[in-house]
Structure 1
Amino acid sequence: KNNVYSTANYSDSDLKDQGNRLFSVRKYEDAIGCYTKAIIKNPAKPTYFTNRALCHLKMKRWDLACQDCRKALDLDQTLVKGHFFLGQSLLELESYDEAIKHLQRACDLAKEQRRNFGDDIASQLRLARKKRFNVQEEKRICKEIELQTYINRLINDDMRNRLDKVKLDETLNEEAATEQSSSIVQE
Protein backbone atom coordinates (compact mmCIF):
# COMPACT_ATOMS: atom_id res chain seq x y z
CA LYS A 1 0.00 0.00 0.00
CA ASN A 2 1.48 3.34 -1.05
CA ASN A 3 0.93 6.07 1.54
CA VAL A 4 0.56 9.61 0.17
CA TYR A 5 2.37 10.94 3.25
CA SER A 6 5.17 8.35 3.31
CA THR A 7 8.04 10.15 5.00
CA ALA A 8 10.61 7.43 5.72
CA ASN A 9 13.28 8.87 3.41
CA TYR A 10 12.56 12.55 4.10
CA SER A 11 15.05 14.81 5.86
CA ASP A 12 13.86 16.77 8.88
CA SER A 13 13.70 19.86 6.64
CA ASP A 14 11.58 17.99 4.05
CA LEU A 15 9.26 16.86 6.85
CA LYS A 16 8.91 20.45 8.07
CA ASP A 17 8.11 21.62 4.52
CA GLN A 18 5.53 18.84 4.16
CA GLY A 19 4.06 19.87 7.54
CA ASN A 20 3.87 23.47 6.34
CA ARG A 21 2.02 22.41 3.18
CA LEU A 22 -0.46 20.38 5.24
CA PHE A 23 -0.87 23.27 7.69
CA SER A 24 -1.65 25.67 4.83
CA VAL A 25 -4.60 23.46 3.80
CA ARG A 26 -5.73 23.15 7.45
CA LYS A 27 -4.76 19.48 7.82
CA TYR A 28 -3.42 20.17 11.31
CA GLU A 29 -3.38 16.59 12.57
CA ASP A 30 -1.32 15.44 9.56
CA ALA A 31 0.94 18.48 9.89
CA ILE A 32 1.52 17.56 13.56
CA GLY A 33 2.61 14.10 12.37
CA CYS A 34 5.18 15.62 10.00
CA TYR A 35 6.52 18.05 12.60
CA THR A 36 6.75 15.22 15.14
CA LYS A 37 8.81 13.13 12.69
CA ALA A 38 11.01 16.17 11.98
CA ILE A 39 11.53 16.58 15.76
CA ILE A 40 12.49 12.90 16.07
CA LYS A 41 15.09 13.35 13.29
CA ASN A 42 16.37 16.66 14.65
CA PRO A 43 15.18 17.61 18.17
CA ALA A 44 17.51 20.64 18.27
CA LYS A 45 15.41 22.73 15.84
CA PRO A 46 13.06 25.00 17.85
CA THR A 47 11.05 25.90 14.72
CA TYR A 48 9.68 22.36 14.54
CA PHE A 49 8.29 22.74 18.05
CA THR A 50 6.73 26.18 17.36
CA ASN A 51 5.20 24.89 14.11
CA ARG A 52 3.66 21.96 15.96
CA ALA A 53 2.57 24.33 18.74
CA LEU A 54 0.70 26.45 16.19
CA CYS A 55 -1.16 23.34 15.00
CA HIS A 56 -2.12 22.61 18.61
CA LEU A 57 -3.26 26.23 18.98
CA LYS A 58 -5.48 25.90 15.90
CA MET A 59 -6.97 22.74 17.41
CA LYS A 60 -7.47 24.43 20.81
CA ARG A 61 -5.08 22.03 22.55
CA TRP A 62 -3.69 24.69 24.84
CA ASP A 63 -1.63 22.42 27.13
CA LEU A 64 0.12 20.70 24.23
CA ALA A 65 0.81 24.07 22.60
CA CYS A 66 2.35 25.26 25.90
CA GLN A 67 4.56 22.15 26.10
CA ASP A 68 5.89 22.62 22.57
CA CYS A 69 6.50 26.34 23.08
CA ARG A 70 8.41 25.68 26.31
CA LYS A 71 10.58 23.08 24.50
CA ALA A 72 11.26 25.57 21.71
CA LEU A 73 12.14 28.29 24.23
CA ASP A 74 14.45 25.89 26.07
CA LEU A 75 16.36 25.66 22.78
CA ASP A 76 16.18 29.39 21.97
CA GLN A 77 14.93 32.05 24.40
CA THR A 78 14.79 34.69 21.65
CA LEU A 79 12.04 33.03 19.59
CA VAL A 80 9.28 35.58 19.06
CA LYS A 81 6.83 32.87 17.96
CA GLY A 82 7.72 30.71 20.97
CA HIS A 83 6.76 33.49 23.38
CA PHE A 84 3.80 34.60 21.25
CA PHE A 85 2.20 31.16 20.92
CA LEU A 86 2.93 30.36 24.57
CA GLY A 87 1.31 33.66 25.59
CA GLN A 88 -1.77 32.88 23.49
CA SER A 89 -2.08 29.38 24.97
CA LEU A 90 -1.67 30.66 28.52
CA LEU A 91 -4.29 33.32 27.84
CA GLU A 92 -6.74 30.59 26.83
CA LEU A 93 -5.82 28.66 30.00
CA GLU A 94 -6.57 31.84 32.01
CA SER A 95 -2.98 32.08 33.31
CA TYR A 96 -3.05 35.81 32.71
CA ASP A 97 0.12 36.90 34.53
CA GLU A 98 2.30 34.38 32.73
CA ALA A 99 0.52 35.05 29.42
CA ILE A 100 1.24 38.77 29.77
CA LYS A 101 4.89 38.05 30.60
CA HIS A 102 5.38 35.97 27.42
CA LEU A 103 3.33 38.26 25.17
CA GLN A 104 5.32 41.27 26.42
CA ARG A 105 8.55 39.36 25.76
CA ALA A 106 7.32 38.51 22.23
CA CYS A 107 6.50 42.17 21.66
CA ASP A 108 9.94 43.32 22.88
CA LEU A 109 11.79 40.66 20.86
CA ALA A 110 9.81 41.51 17.71
CA LYS A 111 10.89 45.15 18.06
CA GLU A 112 14.52 44.20 18.78
CA GLN A 113 14.61 41.83 15.81
CA ARG A 114 12.66 44.29 13.61
CA ARG A 115 10.08 41.58 12.88
CA ASN A 116 6.63 42.80 11.91
CA PHE A 117 3.67 40.89 13.32
CA GLY A 118 1.27 43.73 12.61
CA ASP A 119 -0.95 44.26 15.64
CA ASP A 120 -1.21 40.51 16.41
CA ILE A 121 1.08 40.44 19.44
CA ALA A 122 0.00 43.83 20.79
CA SER A 123 -3.70 42.96 20.48
CA GLN A 124 -3.19 39.65 22.32
CA LEU A 125 -1.24 41.53 25.00
CA ARG A 126 -4.09 44.06 25.38
CA LEU A 127 -6.61 41.22 25.57
CA ALA A 128 -4.58 39.42 28.26
CA ARG A 129 -4.29 42.63 30.31
CA LYS A 130 -8.02 43.31 29.92
CA LYS A 131 -8.95 39.78 31.01
CA ARG A 132 -6.56 39.97 33.98
CA PHE A 133 -8.06 43.34 34.95
CA ASN A 134 -11.60 41.91 34.71
CA VAL A 135 -10.67 38.98 36.96
CA GLN A 136 -8.98 41.31 39.47
CA GLU A 137 -11.96 43.68 39.36
CA GLU A 138 -14.35 40.78 39.96
CA LYS A 139 -12.29 39.69 42.98
CA ARG A 140 -12.21 43.27 44.28
CA ILE A 141 -15.99 43.59 43.94
CA CYS A 142 -16.49 40.25 45.73
CA LYS A 143 -14.26 41.42 48.58
CA GLU A 144 -16.13 44.72 48.72
CA ILE A 145 -19.47 42.88 48.92
CA GLU A 146 -18.04 40.58 51.59
CA LEU A 147 -16.83 43.58 53.59
CA GLN A 148 -20.17 45.39 53.19
CA THR A 149 -22.02 42.26 54.35
CA TYR A 150 -19.71 42.01 57.38
CA ILE A 151 -20.20 45.70 58.24
CA ASN A 152 -23.99 45.37 57.88
CA ARG A 153 -23.95 42.36 60.21
CA LEU A 154 -21.91 44.31 62.78
CA ILE A 155 -24.31 47.26 62.54
CA ASN A 156 -27.35 44.98 62.90
CA ASP A 157 -25.77 43.14 65.86
CA ASP A 158 -24.93 46.47 67.51
CA MET A 159 -28.48 47.73 66.93
CA ARG A 160 -29.98 44.55 68.42
CA ASN A 161 -27.67 44.85 71.44
CA ARG A 162 -28.70 48.50 71.95
CA LEU A 163 -32.40 47.64 71.62
CA ASP A 164 -31.98 44.76 74.09
CA LYS A 165 -30.24 47.16 76.52
CA VAL A 166 -33.03 49.76 76.13
CA LYS A 167 -35.67 47.06 76.76
CA LEU A 168 -33.71 45.82 79.77
CA ASP A 169 -33.39 49.40 81.10
CA GLU A 170 -37.15 49.94 80.61
CA THR A 171 -37.92 46.67 82.41
CA LEU A 172 -35.59 47.61 85.28
CA ASN A 173 -37.10 51.11 85.45
CA GLU A 174 -40.62 49.66 85.54
CA GLU A 175 -39.61 47.23 88.30
CA ALA A 176 -37.98 50.06 90.24
CA ALA A 177 -41.07 52.25 89.79
CA THR A 178 -43.32 49.38 90.90
CA GLU A 179 -41.15 48.82 93.97
CA GLN A 180 -41.13 52.52 94.75
CA SER A 181 -44.89 52.84 94.43
CA SER A 182 -45.46 49.76 96.58
CA SER A 183 -43.14 51.17 99.26
CA ILE A 184 -45.10 54.46 99.19
CA VAL A 185 -48.36 52.56 99.54
CA GLN A 186 -46.96 50.66 102.52
CA GLU A 187 -46.02 53.85 104.36
Structure 2
Amino acid sequence: MAKGVSSADVQAEQLKIDGNMYFKKNRFAAAIDAYTEAITLCPNVPIYWTNRALCHRKRNDWTRVEEDCLKAVQLDHKSVKGHYMLGLALLQRQNFTDGIKALEKALDLGRGAHPNSYMVEEIWQELARAKYQEWERDSTKRLSDLLKLEESCEIALKEKHLHDVTQNEGGADEVSDSASEQLAALKLVFKKAAETDIPREVPDHLCCKITLDIFRDPVITPSGLTYERSVILDHLEKVGAFDPVTRESLYPWQLVPNLAIKEAVEAYLEKHGWAYKME
Protein backbone atom coordinates (compact mmCIF):
# COMPACT_ATOMS: atom_id res chain seq x y z
CA MET A 1 0.00 0.00 0.00
CA ALA A 2 1.38 3.44 -0.96
CA LYS A 3 2.58 5.67 1.82
CA GLY A 4 -0.20 7.96 3.11
CA VAL A 5 -2.98 5.88 1.55
CA SER A 6 -5.25 4.18 4.07
CA SER A 7 -7.16 0.95 3.60
CA ALA A 8 -10.38 3.04 3.75
CA ASP A 9 -9.16 5.08 0.77
CA VAL A 10 -8.41 1.93 -1.21
CA GLN A 11 -11.77 0.37 -0.37
CA ALA A 12 -13.60 3.57 -1.25
CA GLU A 13 -11.88 3.80 -4.64
CA GLN A 14 -12.77 0.17 -5.39
CA LEU A 15 -16.38 0.90 -4.44
CA LYS A 16 -16.33 3.88 -6.83
CA ILE A 17 -15.05 1.60 -9.61
CA ASP A 18 -17.82 -0.89 -8.80
CA GLY A 19 -20.37 1.92 -8.80
CA ASN A 20 -19.15 3.12 -12.20
CA MET A 21 -19.53 -0.41 -13.58
CA TYR A 22 -23.09 -0.70 -12.22
CA PHE A 23 -23.92 2.73 -13.64
CA LYS A 24 -22.78 1.74 -17.13
CA LYS A 25 -25.09 -1.27 -16.91
CA ASN A 26 -27.99 0.98 -15.82
CA ARG A 27 -28.06 -0.71 -12.41
CA PHE A 28 -28.58 2.58 -10.63
CA ALA A 29 -29.72 1.18 -7.27
CA ALA A 30 -26.58 -0.97 -7.03
CA ALA A 31 -24.43 1.99 -8.09
CA ILE A 32 -26.02 4.16 -5.39
CA ASP A 33 -25.27 1.51 -2.78
CA ALA A 34 -21.62 1.34 -3.88
CA TYR A 35 -21.17 5.12 -3.87
CA THR A 36 -22.93 5.35 -0.49
CA GLU A 37 -20.46 2.86 1.00
CA ALA A 38 -17.59 4.87 -0.50
CA ILE A 39 -19.00 8.05 1.05
CA THR A 40 -19.29 6.31 4.42
CA LEU A 41 -15.61 5.40 4.25
CA CYS A 42 -14.38 8.72 2.80
CA PRO A 43 -17.05 11.43 3.12
CA ASN A 44 -14.75 14.25 1.99
CA VAL A 45 -14.26 13.07 -1.61
CA PRO A 46 -16.58 15.20 -3.81
CA ILE A 47 -16.63 12.85 -6.81
CA TYR A 48 -18.37 10.16 -4.73
CA TRP A 49 -21.19 12.65 -4.07
CA THR A 50 -21.49 13.78 -7.68
CA ASN A 51 -21.43 10.18 -8.94
CA ARG A 52 -24.27 9.30 -6.59
CA ALA A 53 -26.11 12.47 -7.62
CA LEU A 54 -25.87 11.37 -11.25
CA CYS A 55 -27.57 8.09 -10.34
CA HIS A 56 -30.34 9.99 -8.54
CA ARG A 57 -30.69 12.16 -11.65
CA LYS A 58 -31.18 9.08 -13.80
CA ARG A 59 -33.99 8.06 -11.44
CA ASN A 60 -35.48 11.58 -11.42
CA ASP A 61 -34.95 11.81 -7.68
CA TRP A 62 -34.19 15.53 -7.76
CA THR A 63 -34.38 16.10 -4.01
CA ARG A 64 -31.46 13.72 -3.48
CA VAL A 65 -29.62 15.21 -6.48
CA GLU A 66 -29.81 18.60 -4.80
CA GLU A 67 -28.67 17.23 -1.44
CA ASP A 68 -25.65 15.40 -2.88
CA CYS A 69 -24.60 18.29 -5.10
CA LEU A 70 -24.81 20.79 -2.26
CA LYS A 71 -22.38 18.57 -0.36
CA ALA A 72 -20.13 18.19 -3.42
CA VAL A 73 -19.81 21.95 -4.04
CA GLN A 74 -19.23 22.49 -0.34
CA LEU A 75 -16.26 20.13 -0.56
CA ASP A 76 -15.08 21.46 -3.93
CA HIS A 77 -16.42 24.85 -5.01
CA LYS A 78 -14.88 24.25 -8.47
CA SER A 79 -16.89 21.08 -9.14
CA VAL A 80 -18.40 21.57 -12.60
CA LYS A 81 -20.69 18.54 -12.29
CA GLY A 82 -21.72 19.56 -8.79
CA HIS A 83 -22.84 23.05 -9.82
CA TYR A 84 -24.38 21.74 -13.05
CA MET A 85 -26.60 19.11 -11.48
CA LEU A 86 -27.42 21.40 -8.56
CA GLY A 87 -28.71 23.92 -11.10
CA LEU A 88 -30.84 21.28 -12.80
CA ALA A 89 -32.29 20.17 -9.46
CA LEU A 90 -33.16 23.74 -8.45
CA LEU A 91 -34.86 24.34 -11.80
CA GLN A 92 -36.98 21.24 -11.26
CA ARG A 93 -38.69 23.03 -8.40
CA GLN A 94 -38.99 26.25 -10.40
CA ASN A 95 -36.23 28.04 -8.48
CA PHE A 96 -35.02 29.93 -11.55
CA THR A 97 -32.87 32.48 -9.70
CA ASP A 98 -30.64 30.00 -7.84
CA GLY A 99 -30.82 27.37 -10.58
CA ILE A 100 -29.56 29.79 -13.21
CA LYS A 101 -26.79 31.01 -10.88
CA ALA A 102 -25.61 27.41 -10.38
CA LEU A 103 -25.64 26.73 -14.14
CA GLU A 104 -23.74 29.96 -14.83
CA LYS A 105 -21.13 28.92 -12.26
CA ALA A 106 -20.82 25.49 -13.88
CA LEU A 107 -20.46 27.10 -17.31
CA ASP A 108 -17.72 29.48 -16.17
CA LEU A 109 -15.82 26.63 -14.51
CA GLY A 110 -16.28 24.35 -17.52
CA ARG A 111 -15.06 26.97 -19.96
CA GLY A 112 -11.97 27.52 -17.87
CA ALA A 113 -11.10 23.82 -17.79
CA HIS A 114 -12.34 22.42 -21.12
CA PRO A 115 -13.77 25.21 -23.34
CA ASN A 116 -14.78 22.96 -26.26
CA SER A 117 -15.94 19.90 -24.31
CA TYR A 118 -19.36 18.31 -24.77
CA MET A 119 -20.28 19.21 -21.18
CA VAL A 120 -19.78 22.95 -21.76
CA GLU A 121 -22.19 22.77 -24.70
CA GLU A 122 -24.65 20.72 -22.64
CA ILE A 123 -24.51 23.19 -19.75
CA TRP A 124 -25.02 26.12 -22.13
CA GLN A 125 -28.10 24.50 -23.64
CA GLU A 126 -29.64 23.88 -20.22
CA LEU A 127 -28.80 27.44 -19.17
CA ALA A 128 -30.29 28.89 -22.36
CA ARG A 129 -33.43 26.79 -21.88
CA ALA A 130 -33.79 28.00 -18.29
CA LYS A 131 -33.19 31.62 -19.28
CA TYR A 132 -35.79 31.34 -22.05
CA GLN A 133 -38.34 29.79 -19.67
CA GLU A 134 -37.66 32.54 -17.16
CA TRP A 135 -38.15 35.17 -19.86
CA GLU A 136 -41.32 33.46 -21.09
CA ARG A 137 -42.77 33.45 -17.57
CA ASP A 138 -41.80 37.06 -16.90
CA SER A 139 -42.88 38.35 -20.32
CA THR A 140 -46.30 36.72 -19.95
CA LYS A 141 -46.76 38.53 -16.66
CA ARG A 142 -45.47 41.81 -18.14
CA LEU A 143 -47.88 41.56 -21.07
CA SER A 144 -50.79 40.82 -18.75
CA ASP A 145 -49.89 43.78 -16.53
CA LEU A 146 -49.50 46.08 -19.55
CA LEU A 147 -52.90 45.07 -20.94
CA LYS A 148 -54.59 45.71 -17.60
CA LEU A 149 -52.88 49.09 -17.27
CA GLU A 150 -53.77 50.03 -20.85
CA GLU A 151 -57.42 49.12 -20.26
CA SER A 152 -57.48 51.20 -17.07
CA CYS A 153 -55.95 54.18 -18.86
CA GLU A 154 -58.44 53.89 -21.75
CA ILE A 155 -61.35 53.77 -19.34
CA ALA A 156 -60.02 56.81 -17.50
CA LEU A 157 -59.58 58.77 -20.78
CA LYS A 158 -63.08 57.86 -21.98
CA GLU A 159 -64.58 58.90 -18.66
CA LYS A 160 -62.69 62.19 -18.88
CA HIS A 161 -63.99 62.62 -22.45
CA LEU A 162 -67.60 62.16 -21.34
CA HIS A 163 -67.09 64.62 -18.50
CA ASP A 164 -65.50 67.22 -20.82
CA VAL A 165 -68.31 66.84 -23.36
CA THR A 166 -70.99 67.49 -20.73
CA GLN A 167 -69.06 70.52 -19.47
CA ASN A 168 -68.42 71.96 -22.95
CA GLU A 169 -71.40 71.22 -25.18
CA GLY A 170 -70.46 73.88 -27.71
CA GLY A 171 -67.02 72.39 -28.34
CA ALA A 172 -67.98 68.72 -28.35
CA ASP A 173 -66.19 68.05 -31.65
CA GLU A 174 -62.99 69.66 -30.40
CA VAL A 175 -63.15 67.59 -27.20
CA SER A 176 -63.71 64.40 -29.19
CA ASP A 177 -60.74 65.12 -31.46
CA SER A 178 -58.53 65.68 -28.42
CA ALA A 179 -59.70 62.43 -26.84
CA SER A 180 -59.00 60.49 -30.06
CA GLU A 181 -55.48 61.90 -30.20
CA GLN A 182 -54.87 60.97 -26.57
CA LEU A 183 -56.13 57.41 -27.11
CA ALA A 184 -53.89 57.02 -30.16
CA ALA A 185 -50.90 58.31 -28.21
CA LEU A 186 -51.73 55.93 -25.37
CA LYS A 187 -51.80 52.91 -27.69
CA LEU A 188 -48.45 53.96 -29.16
CA VAL A 189 -46.87 54.20 -25.70
CA PHE A 190 -48.03 50.70 -24.75
CA LYS A 191 -46.99 49.29 -28.12
CA LYS A 192 -43.48 50.65 -27.56
CA ALA A 193 -43.44 49.21 -24.04
CA ALA A 194 -44.23 45.73 -25.40
CA GLU A 195 -41.62 45.77 -28.19
CA THR A 196 -38.80 44.45 -25.99
CA ASP A 197 -40.60 41.12 -25.68
CA ILE A 198 -41.21 40.71 -29.43
CA PRO A 199 -38.67 38.30 -31.04
CA ARG A 200 -36.67 39.62 -34.00
CA GLU A 201 -33.36 39.01 -35.74
CA VAL A 202 -30.30 39.19 -33.49
CA PRO A 203 -27.82 41.85 -34.76
CA ASP A 204 -25.08 40.33 -36.94
CA HIS A 205 -22.20 41.69 -34.85
CA LEU A 206 -23.46 39.63 -31.89
CA CYS A 207 -23.37 36.36 -33.87
CA CYS A 208 -20.55 33.99 -34.76
CA LYS A 209 -19.50 34.11 -38.42
CA ILE A 210 -19.34 30.31 -38.58
CA THR A 211 -22.48 29.16 -36.75
CA LEU A 212 -24.51 32.39 -37.19
CA ASP A 213 -25.73 31.82 -33.61
CA ILE A 214 -25.51 34.45 -30.87
CA PHE A 215 -22.13 34.43 -29.13
CA ARG A 216 -21.65 32.50 -25.90
CA ASP A 217 -17.90 32.79 -25.35
CA PRO A 218 -16.48 35.08 -28.09
CA VAL A 219 -12.76 35.25 -28.84
CA ILE A 220 -10.93 37.60 -31.19
CA THR A 221 -8.10 36.68 -33.56
CA PRO A 222 -4.99 38.77 -34.42
CA SER A 223 -6.75 39.81 -37.66
CA GLY A 224 -9.62 41.29 -35.65
CA LEU A 225 -12.30 38.69 -36.43
CA THR A 226 -14.42 37.29 -33.62
CA TYR A 227 -15.55 33.67 -33.35
CA GLU A 228 -17.25 31.42 -30.83
CA ARG A 229 -14.40 29.88 -28.81
CA SER A 230 -15.44 26.21 -28.99
CA VAL A 231 -16.21 26.49 -32.71
CA ILE A 232 -12.90 28.06 -33.73
CA LEU A 233 -10.97 25.65 -31.49
CA ASP A 234 -12.76 22.74 -33.18
CA HIS A 235 -11.88 24.19 -36.59
CA LEU A 236 -8.21 24.59 -35.64
CA GLU A 237 -8.04 21.02 -34.37
CA LYS A 238 -9.94 19.24 -37.14
CA VAL A 239 -9.50 21.41 -40.24
CA GLY A 240 -6.21 23.23 -39.84
CA ALA A 241 -4.26 25.98 -38.08
CA PHE A 242 -5.66 28.87 -40.12
CA ASP A 243 -8.39 31.49 -39.89
CA PRO A 244 -11.45 30.17 -41.77
CA VAL A 245 -12.18 33.64 -43.22
CA THR A 246 -8.78 35.26 -43.85
CA ARG A 247 -6.94 31.92 -44.32
CA GLU A 248 -4.04 33.34 -42.29
CA SER A 249 -2.15 31.07 -39.88
CA LEU A 250 -3.90 30.86 -36.53
CA TYR A 251 -3.15 28.96 -33.31
CA PRO A 252 -5.19 28.48 -30.12
CA TRP A 253 -2.77 30.53 -28.01
CA GLN A 254 -3.48 33.55 -30.23
CA LEU A 255 -7.16 33.66 -29.33
CA VAL A 256 -8.10 36.36 -26.84
CA PRO A 257 -11.49 36.77 -25.09
CA ASN A 258 -13.50 39.54 -26.77
CA LEU A 259 -14.80 41.16 -23.59
CA ALA A 260 -16.51 44.03 -25.42
CA ILE A 261 -18.65 41.67 -27.52
CA LYS A 262 -19.29 39.42 -24.52
CA GLU A 263 -20.60 42.37 -22.51
CA ALA A 264 -22.71 43.51 -25.47
CA VAL A 265 -24.22 40.03 -25.80
CA GLU A 266 -24.97 39.86 -22.08
CA ALA A 267 -26.63 43.29 -22.19
CA TYR A 268 -28.68 42.27 -25.25
CA LEU A 269 -29.81 38.99 -23.69
CA GLU A 270 -30.69 40.79 -20.46
CA LYS A 271 -33.20 42.92 -22.41
CA HIS A 272 -34.22 40.32 -25.00
CA GLY A 273 -34.59 36.98 -23.21
CA TRP A 274 -36.32 35.45 -26.24
CA ALA A 275 -32.88 35.32 -27.92
CA TYR A 276 -31.96 32.43 -25.61
CA LYS A 277 -34.36 30.13 -27.44
CA MET A 278 -32.57 27.11 -28.90
CA GLU A 279 -33.67 25.95 -32.34
TM score, norm. by length of structure 2: 0.51
Matched residue type, 1:126: A
Larger Rg: 1
Shift of residue 114 of structure 1? 2.7
User: Alignment length, in residue pairs?
Assistant: 158
- The answer to whether the 8 A contact 2:110-2:120 is kept is no
Shift of residue 157 of structure 1? 5.3
Identify the range of structure 1 (29-38 vs 142-151) with the bigger mean alpha-carbon deviation.
142-151
Shift of residue 155 of structure 1? 4.7
- Counterpart residue number, 1:184: none
Tell me if 1:112 matches 2:112: yes
Q: 1:163 to 1:70 in 2, by over 3 A?
A: same
User: 1: distance between equivalents of 2:29 and 2:143?
Assistant: 43
- Counterpart residue number, 1:33: 33
User: 2: distance between equivalents of 1:157 and 1:61?
Assistant: 57
Gaps of 5+ in 1: 1-9, 167-187
Q: 1:144 to 1:45 in 2, by over 3 A?
A: same
Shift of residue 109 of structure 1? 0.8
- The answer to whether the 8 A contact 2:100-2:131 is kept is yes
Matched residue type, 2:24: S
Matched residue type, 1:20: N
User: 1: distance between equivalents of 2:158 and 2:56?
Assistant: 56
Gaps of 5+ in 2: 1-9, 169-279
Q: 1:43 to 1:147 in 2, by over 3 A?
A: same
Q: Secondary structure at the match of 1:110?
A: helix
Normalized per residue, which structure has more helix? 1
Shift of residue 99 of structure 1? 1.8
Shift of residue 80 of structure 1? 0.7
Matched residue type, 1:98: D
User: 2: distance between equivalents of 1:56 and 1:163?
Assistant: 70
Q: 1:30 to 1:159 in 2, by over 3 A?
A: farther
Superposed CA deviations along residues 54-90 of structure 1, whole A, max 9, x for unmatched, are 1111111222111111100000100111111111222
- Counterpart residue number, 1:65: 65
The 4+ residue runs of structure 1 with deviation greater than 4 A are: 155-166
User: Pairwise CA RMSD of aligned residues?
Assistant: 2.4
TM score, norm. by length of structure 1: 0.73
User: 1: distance between equivalents of 2:151 and 2:31?
Assistant: 55
Q: Secondary structure at the match of 1:11?
A: helix
User: 1: distance between equivalents of 2:71 and 2:121?
Assistant: 26
